[in-house]
Amino acid sequence: MRKIKVLTVFGTRPEAIKMAPVVLELAKHENVFENIVCVTAQHRQMLDQVLELFKIKPDYDLNLMQPNQNLWNLTSKVLLEMKNVFEKSKPDVVLVHGDTTTSMAASLSAFYAQIPVGHVEAGLRTFDKYYPFPEEINRVFADSVSTYHFAPTDTSVENLIKSNIDKTHIYKTGNTVIDALLYTVNNHKYDLSYLNLDKNLKTILLTSHRRENFGEPIKNICYAIKELVQKNKDIEVIYPVHLNPNVRKPVFEILDNVERVKLIEPLEYAPFASLMKESHIILTDSGGVQEEAPALGKPVLVLRNTTERPEAVQYGTVKLIGTDKDNIIKNVQELLDNKEEYNKMKEAINPYGDGLASKRIVDVLKNIRI
Ligand code: UD1
Ligand code: UDP
């Protein structure tokens, strides 16, 4: 019997973090799989940080990122370039992840080539076409062309069933982000002393990058932070600023040189995981951080109005607070002042997986027909 050719495609930081454990698991079974990796490099520096950490050397690197790229250019380039990769590598199955442009365009390209697609992190939904934009439609699309659906939670399984996806090809696996997080915190201990965190201050970790928060919302977030540090002399805010220029411009304009606000470059995953562990409160609009922080027992205030990850909200560790300045201030202040409320939110819970999601995905792939 010949080996099953699995082509794993990813392009951005979060996809790389969440696909790395799958690639490493496939590599453990080299007698079963030909393990081929293609990166679109929708992100460049932030992707390379992850490839280095997990020691993954892509077989194909499309090197597509352009400064301040737009959806049309990136989508068409991924669609076309993947055709060449399929012609050269002739995979039996293509794995994509989540809801990025890379995932949507690579899955469309595989569909045109009539190659079965496996969608990792399938079934997440807000059921709002424009929120998050364009991710909601990207994941609906990837789900609809995929053959194998690797859903992280019961809710995502239910969403797929509601979308009329063939039940026999839905697999509840847990989220591979927990595999990545556990691998990283167990194998990499990080000394964060170079960040000069003041032990006498409470650290608030902030990340923000969502397209629908560009413009007024991101400015509101920054103004809220400015007021919070002025009011609370016992906190400091540390913000690894995403490389997207639509984020960097307003953030540096409003928060550069503000006392007890540290704007730093995006951190590698291992130090970032350590920083999450050190933080008192996490403020974020990130999907991945919403999944990781509850596993570390950190209260998360989400700078969005809705989420496709309702599980930790239901458990009470994650709260949606939107991007209204006064509402952000009110919610952070409450967590700073009200110990009971804080303790309720900091329960370590982990609805997203047990660290074995990649193994479950690879077990399914071992049995596909080629
Ligand atoms: C993308 C994804 C989003 C995901 C996010 C994770 C889409 C439509 N968006 O958004 O779903 O949550 O990644 O971070 O797929 N840049 C760099 N270096 C990097 C990365 C980005 O300079 O390593 C800059 C470039 O100018 C680039 C810009 O950021 O053009 C935007 O990158 P892009 O991937 O288009 O959008 P993100 O906002 O990062
Ligand atoms: N992350 C990181 N360094 C940082 C900020 C975030 O490694 O400076 C990690 C984080 O732990 C999570 C992932 O990046 O695993 C989330 O990526 P992002 O927020 O860019 O995208 P999203 O998850 O919203 O799609």
pLDDT in tens, 143-200: 999 999 999 999 999 999 999 999 999 999 999 999 999 999 888 878 888 899 999 9
Mean pLDDT to the nearest integer, 22-44: 98
Can you tell me which residue has the tokens 């009011």? Answer: 231
Please provide residue 46's backbone torsions phi and psi, each rounded to the nearest 5 degrees. -70, -25
Q: What is the DSSP letter of 267?
A: P
In the annotation, is 227 catalytic? no
Distance (angstroms) between ligand 1 centre and the Cα of 42 equals 7
In the Cβ-directed half-sphere of 364, how many Cα atoms lie within 13 Å?
Answer: 23
Residue 283 CA to ligand 2 center (angstroms) comes to 13
d(C-alpha 160, C-alpha 43), whole Å:
29
pLDDT band at residue 1 using 50, 70 and 90 as cut-offs: confident
Which ranges constitute the DSSP H helices of 90-170? 101-112, 135-145, 154-162
pLDDT at 194: 87
For residue 10, the model assigns a pLDDT of 99
pTM equals 0.98
Ligand 2 neighbours by CB, cut-off 6 Å: 13-14, 17, 207, 209, 240, 266-267, 269, 272, 286-289, 292
Task: Please give the pLDDT value at position 187.
Answer: 85
Q: Whose CA is nearest to atom 24 of ligand 1?
A: 244
| Residue-level pLDDT at 112 | 98
By alpha-carbon position, which residue is closest to atom 31 of ligand 1? Answer: 244
Q: What is the pLDDT of residues 255-288, one digit of tens each?
A: 999 999 999 999 999 999 999 999 999 999 999 9
pLDDT tens string 85-123? 999 999 999 999 999 999 999 999 999 999 999 999 999
DSSP 352: T
Cα–Cα distance, 142 to 2 (Å, whole number) = 28
Ligand with the closest atom to the CA of 16: 2
pLDDT(215) > 90: yes
Rg (alpha carbons) of the chain, rounded to whole number: 20
Give the containing element (helix H, strand E) for 79. Answer: helix 71-89
The structural domains of the chain, ordered by start, are 4-175+354-365 (3.40.50.2000), 193-346 (3.40.50.2000)
Task: Please indicate whether residue 242 is annotated as part of the active site.
Answer: yes
Number of the ligand 2 atom closest to the C-alpha atom of 210: 24
Q: Using the mean position of ligand 2's atoms as its centre, give its distance from the Cα of residue 168 in Å.
A: 32
